[in-house]
Amino acid sequence: MPLNVAGKQVSNGAVVVAGGLVVGLVDTFLPWHTTTFPAALGGATGGHDALGYWSGWLFFLAVLVGIALFAVRTFVQGSIPALPFTDATIYLGVGVVMIVCALLWLVTGGGYGSVYDQYATLAGYSSGPSIGVFLGVITAAAVGVGGYLMNSDPQPATRPLSSYQPSSTPAPPPAMPPLAAPQPPPTT
């Protein structure tokens, strides 16, 4: 059942994409890695958000690209120039980039895995992934699935990927000039 947003019909796939992008934006600032120091060191707990590592920055940039495209397509009156891919393909790509970046962040520990190794032997010390990285994987999957669901939506015009590709309809051949009627030979 399509939803009416700003006077424009928005499909279920677009709603999933929008929700995933908004949650992904907020998630970027949640803790993706948490470290707890034991009471012997003052009992401190700290966290790092996605922007503490390069893959988190790529995650954030992918979210911004997706939000910008969604906002322009939904709220800006008029049209933007034709894009080389359909919106569904772009959102699917944004979701793939987001999930790869979140999984890279999870696998590498955001670069924080070895920072606190000197405290690993202390009782009560813990360091590891936090809720943000797992929520990032889920929101990235939602954006990708929403992009896939948008494949059946009517798409705005797209332009060819290369200027060397032929247009969809070939140009008609040039018109031939009309044939002139034969002239009688001159009489002398």
Q: What is the pLDDT of residue 87?
A: 85
For residues 91-112, average pLDDT: 88
Q: Measured between alpha carbons, how far is 65 from 68 in angstroms, rounded to an integer?
A: 5
| pLDDT tens column, 78-100 | 667 777 888 888 999 999 999 99
Choose the weakest-confidence range: 3-7, 94-98, 136-140, 157-161: 157-161
Q: Quick one: what percent of the chain has pLDDT higher than 70?
A: 77
CA-CA distance, 88 to 66, in Å (whole number)?
11
Side-chain half-sphere CA neighbours of 179 within 13 A: 2
Q: Name the one residue in this structure whose structure tokens are 């606190």.
A: 116
More confident residue, 185 or 6: 185
Torsion of CA 61, 64, 65, 67, to 10 degrees: 160
DSSP string, the chain: --EEETTEEE-HHHHHHHHHHHHHHHHTTS-SEEEE--GGGT--EEEE-GGGSHHHHHHHHHHHHHHHHHHHHHH-SS-PPPBSS-HHHHHHHHHHHHHHHHHHHHHHGGGTTTTTGGGTTSTT-EEEE-HHHHHHHHHHHHHHHHHHHGGGS----B--SSTTSPPSSPPPPPPPPPPPPPPPPPP-
Q: What percent of the chain has pLDDT over 90?
A: 28
Q: Which residue has the higher pLDDT, 161 or 36?
A: 36
Average pLDDT along the chain: 80
Query: Whose structure tokens read 């934006």?
Result: 25
| 28 against 115, higher pLDDT | 28
- pLDDT above 80 (res 149): yes
pLDDT 10s digits, 4-58: 666 667 778 888 999 999 999 999 999 988 877 776 656 777 788 888 888 889 9
Q: Is the pLDDT of residue 72 over 80?
A: yes
Dihedral of alpha carbons 77, 78, 81, 82, sign: positive
Domains of the chain: 14-152 (1.20.140)
pLDDT of residue 85: 83
pTM score, whole prediction: 0.73
